[in-house]
Structure 1
Amino acid sequence: MRMFFGFDKASKYLASPINVHPSRSPFMKEKIAVYVESKSIEELWTKIKGFEVPETKTYKVVFVNLDKGDKLSFKERRNIERQAGLLLNGRVDLKEPMVEFGIMNVNGRWVFGELERSEAVWYKHQMKPHQYSTALSTRVARAVVNIAVPNPIGVKVIDPCCGIGTVLVEALSMGIDIVGSDINFQVLPGTRENIAYFGFHTDVTLCDIRDVTEFYNVAIIDMPYNLCSVLPTEEKMEMLQSARNIADKVVIVTVEPLEEILEEVGLHIVDRCVAKKSSFTRQVIVCT
C-alpha cells in the first residue's frame, strides 16, 4: 500500500488519484474508477441519468458493500442496482456483462464508476512445471515485486539470484522489464521452462551476482537460506556489495538479520515489512 499509493491505513478501502489495476496485488479485491460523486443518492441519480454506455458493450450495475456494521440489506442493494441500471442508456446483461459499473457509499459520499475486479493471476502461477522447496510462494513473490517496482514504466530490473524463477514469472506477468541470473547451472533449465510455460520470455543467464556488470534501476534478491546454501558472512557481504553496485534500489528478502552487513556495504534501509507463514518469517527490506 505504501509503495503503490504513498501511505497506508487500517481501513479496507482507500481513495487515491493513482491508477493501479487490482490484479497487480494479491491483496486488492476491486477498484472503482470514479466518474461521478455526490452527497446524496438522489443527487447521484440526477448525475448519472442518461449516462451513455457504448453500443458495442453490455453492462451491469453492482452495489459495492463495505465491510462495516451499517451494510445495506440484500433487497436494498438490489433496488439501488436496478434503479441505477434503468437510468443508464445501453444494453443490460446481468449474467456476462462486458462492463460493470459500481456504486458505493463511502463516509456518506456516493460514488459511481467503472468497476474492475482482481484476477488471482498469482494463484495460476502456482502450477508451474518445476518447483523448489524453499522458493517464495507466488503470492509473496508478487507482493515483493510490487514493493520493488510499483510503477514499471521505464524501469529495468534484475533478479540476480533467480532460482526457479518465481519472482521472474510474477514480474513478467505484470509487464515489468526484468532479467534473471543465477550461479546454479542445474536450476536454470527449469527456470526457463517455468517462464515459457506461462507464455513469457526474458534472458536468464548463468552468472554470479559478483560478475554482473550492467546497471539496473532495481535489483530483487531472495537471499539463500536453506541448509545447503548457508553463506559465510564474507560472501553475503560480497553479494550485497555487488547489488549496491548494480542497482539504484535493492529489495532483499531474508530470514536472518542483515542490518550490520547492509550498513557496512553502504545500503540504507528506507522501508521494510514482514511476511509470516506459521512460525516462518521473512523480512522484505527496501534499500537505496
Structure 2
Amino acid sequence: MEYKHDQRPSFIYTYASPDEEISLCQLEMRSFFGADAPPNLFRSKIGIDPSRSPFIRERIEVIYEGDSVAEIVEQVDQIQTHDMTFKVIYVKTNDLEPSQKIEFDEARVIERELGWHINGEADVRKPDYVFGIVTLGGRWYFGNYRKSKTVWLQHQKKPRSYSIALPTRVARAAANIAVPHPDGVKAIDPCCGIGTVLVEALSMGIDIVGRDINPFIARGARENIAHFGYDCEVALGSIADITETYDAAIIDMPYNHFSRITSEGQFSILQHARRIASKVVVIANEPMDEMLTSAGFTIADHAVARKGSFSRHIIVCL
C-alpha cells in the first residue's frame, strides 16, 4: 500500500472500563502514555498495540486529518492499495455533542464516500487493509485501524486455578503497569502462584521469569504457561534466595486472611523485592504505605480495583 502524508506518527485510541476498574484503567494509561487519558478517546504520539490493554478498544494510526470529512475525502485519493483489498470503518466512539451525533445511516454514507475515493477494491468481509475514521476535538482523523483482541479472556480457562488468583484483566493491567515498554526490560514475578501474571506478560512479549515457594503451585504455573503455548522459567524457592537483579518485579502479596503469612513475612518479601528490582508493582488487599516506606520504597502511583466488597490495591514502587 502507498500513500503520501507529512504528519509525524500519531495515534487515536478509544477505551472503556467498568466503574470498579476506572482507577486501574487510568493507572495503566499513565504508565503507557505518561498522563491520565481523557474520557473515551484521546490522541498520543506513543504507539501501543491495543491488544495489550484490557481497556483499549481501538487504535487509528493517523495518516490524514482535516476539519471536515470532505477534507479527508480529498486526501484519500492518494492511497494506492494495488491488488490488495480494503475496508473503511467509522469509529462510533467520539466526543461529539448529542445534537451532532452521527447516526448509523450517516456513518455508512461516510464510509462509502471514503471508499469510493480510495484506489483499490473494497471488501467488507476479509479485507487486506482496514482504515478507520474518527472525529476528536472538532477535527477528523483517518488512518490504519486496529481493533483490540481480547486475548486475556482466553487465559481465563486455565487447567490449574484457585479461587484467590488474580482476575486476568487485573493481571494483564499489572504487567503493563510494571513493564509498559518491554524493549530491553527484564522482569520477575517472585511469588507467581499459578502464573496468572506470567501468562499475561508472556502473551505480550515481556521478558519475565517466575518463582514460587510452594512446589505444587509452581508446577501448576508451569502447566498453565505450557497450556497456552508459552515458555519461561518458573523456579522453586523463596524470594530470599534470588541473587539476580531485574528492571521490574510484580508481587501479588499473600493476604493475611487467605494465607498463613504474617506481617513480618510480608515485610520480608518487600525488603527482598527492593533488593532485586528497581521498580516493583505490589498488589495487596489493603494500602501498605507504611510498610512499603519502611522497606525503602517510594510510592510513585496507586490504583484500586474493586469487586463487590473486596478491593485490590495496585501500588507502583520505586
Q: Aligned pair 1:187/2:214, yes or no?
A: no
* Equivalent position amino acid for 2:85 in 1: T
Pairwise CA distance, 1:66: 2.3
Partner of 1:63: 90
Partner of 1:136: 166
* Equivalent position amino acid for 1:64 in 2: V
Pairwise CA distance, 1:228: 4.9
Kindly provide the CA deviation profile for residues 194-232 of structure 1, in whole angstroms up to 9, marking residues without a partner as x: 000110000001010011110000010000116451322
Pairwise CA distance, 1:108: 1.6
Q: Secondary structure at the match of 2:283?
A: strand
- CA 1:10–1:258 in 2, change beyond 3 Å: closer, same or farther? same
Partner of 1:202: 232
Q: Aligned pair 1:18/2:81, yes or no?
A: no
Q: Quick one: distance in 1 between partners of 2:145 and 2:311?
A: 35
Q: Quick one: distance in 1 between partners of 2:128 and 2:72?
A: 23
Identity %: 51
Q: Aligned pair 1:87/2:117, yes or no?
A: yes
* Equivalent position amino acid for 2:262 in 1: P
TM-score (norm 1): 0.97
Pairwise CA distance, 1:100: 0.9
Kindly provide the CA deviation profile for residues 162-208 of structure 1, in whole angstroms up to 9, marking residues without a partner as x: 00000000000000000000000111111111000110000001010
Q: Quick one: distance in 2 between partners of 1:200 and 1:240?
A: 28
1:211 to 218, 227, 241: 241
Pairwise CA distance, 1:10: 3.9
2:275 to 239, 245, 249: 245
Q: Aligned pair 1:48/2:76, yes or no?
A: yes
Pairwise CA distance, 1:50: 3.6
2:250 to 220, 244, 262: 220
Q: Quick one: distance in 1 between partners of 2:266 and 2:223?
A: 29
* Equivalent position amino acid for 1:115 in 2: Y
Name stretches of at least 5 consecutive residues in structure 1 with no aligned partner: none
- CA 1:10–1:45 in 2, change beyond 3 Å: closer, same or farther? closer
Partner of 2:62: 34
Kindly provide the CA deviation profile for residues 232-280 of structure 1, in whole angstroms up to 9, marking residues without a partner as x: 2222111101000000000000002311111111111000000111111
Q: Quick one: distance in 1 between partners of 2:266 and 2:161?
A: 25
Deviates more, 1:161-170 or 1:187-196: 187-196
TM-score (norm 2): 0.88
Kindly provide the CA deviation profile for residues 34-81 of structure 1, in whole angstroms up to 9, marking residues without a partner as x: 0000112222111111411242x3210011122552320111111110
How many equivalent residue pairs?
287
